């Protein structure tokens, strides 16, 4: 498996946008076209926002992003690990953990010591990668968990 910045595999944008629409439309009501436009803004190599794609032999396996913002009520927090998604048939193979660790390493190498994420699902994967729960709340009538990686007092 290889993890590459989306800028190196831009043909993946349409597929990722469909994944995101299917997975999170209930939370943000974005159209596939709006998601594609946002992903096009993530075509960076060395700065935020950036999206990474896990792939092997031309097959897309999963993705994750590091964004400036991801949860409007918490825009004062930044940056955000966002849009972690692994194809259902590729789950339980360590891809999600590898993507999370990849973003953590990218952030660390760019002087970012604190990141945030929200999830409507289980937190075990993130906790295994060093994330801690900081709040449980409701977003668009859905229960979510807000998490932090690092020390909020040293964020850059």
Confidence at residue 135, expressed as pLDDT on a 0 to 100 scale: 96
pLDDT computed for residue 124 by the predictor: 96
DSSP-derived secondary structure for 35-77: HHHHHHHT--SSSSSEEEEEEETTEEEEEEEEES-S-GGGTTS
- Tally of domains within the chain: 1
Predicted local confidence at residue 152, as pLDDT = 63
Question: What beta strand segments (E) does the chain contain?
Answer: 2-5, 50-56, 59-67, 80-86, 115-119, 132-139, 142-149
Is 145 inside any structural domain? no
**pLDDT at residue number 154:** 42
Report helix, strand or coil for 4.
strand
What was the pLDDT predicted at 139? 87
**Nearest alpha carbon to residue 3 among 45, 42, 64, 55:** 55
pLDDT at 128: 97
Q: Is residue 137 part of a domain?
A: no
Is 101 within a domain? yes
How many CB atoms sit inside 10 A of residue 57's CB? 6
Q: What pLDDT does 109 receive?
A: 97
Per-residue pLDDT 10s for the chain (156 aa) are 999 999 999 999 999 999 999 998 888 889 999 999 999 999 999 999 999 999 999 899 999 999 999 998 999 999 999 999 999 999 999 999 999 999 999 999 999 999 999 999 999 999 999 999 999 999 888 899 999 999 765 443
Is the Cβ–Cβ distance between 113 and 154 less than 8 Å? yes
Provide the 8-state DSSP code for 103. Answer: H
Paired tokens of 42 = 């993530």
**Domain harbouring 92, CATH code:** 3.40.630.30
Q: 20 in the Ramachandran plot: left (φ > 0), alpha (ψ -120 to 50) or beta?
A: alpha
- Can you give the pLDDT at residue 156? 39
> Residue 63's closest CA among 90, 26, 29?
90
**Assigned domain for 134 exists:** no
pLDDT computed for residue 153 by the predictor: 54
Question: In terms of residue numbers, what domain contains 72?
Answer: 2-112
Does pTM surpass 0.75? yes
- pLDDT for 151 equals 77
Please report whether residue 59 resides in a domain.
Answer: yes
Q: Is residue 150 part of a domain?
A: no
Is residue 102, in this structure, part of any structural domain at all? yes
pLDDT of residue 8: 97
In a domain, 98, yes or no: yes
Alpha-carbon span 41 to 38, nearest angstrom: 5
């Amino acid at each position: 498996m290889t993890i590459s910045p989306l800028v190196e595999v831009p043909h993946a944008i349409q597929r990722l946008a469909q994944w995101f629409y299917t997975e999170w439309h209930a939370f943000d009501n974005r159209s596939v076209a709006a998601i594609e436009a946002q992903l096009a803004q993530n075509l960076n190599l060395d700065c935020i926002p950036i999206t990474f794609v896990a792939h092997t032999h031309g097959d897309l396996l999963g993705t994750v992003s590091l964004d400036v913002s991801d949860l409007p009520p918490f825009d004062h927090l930044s940056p955000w690990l966002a849009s972690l998604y692994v194809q259902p048939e590729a789950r339980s193979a360590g891809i999600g953990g590898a993507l999370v660790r990849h973003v953590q390493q990218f952030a660390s190498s760019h002087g970012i010591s604190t990141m945030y994420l929200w999830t409507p699902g289980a937190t075990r994967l993130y906790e295994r990668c060093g994330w801690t729960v900081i709040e449980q709340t409701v977003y668009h009538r859905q229960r979510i968990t807000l998490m932090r990686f690092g020390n909020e007092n040293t964020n850059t």
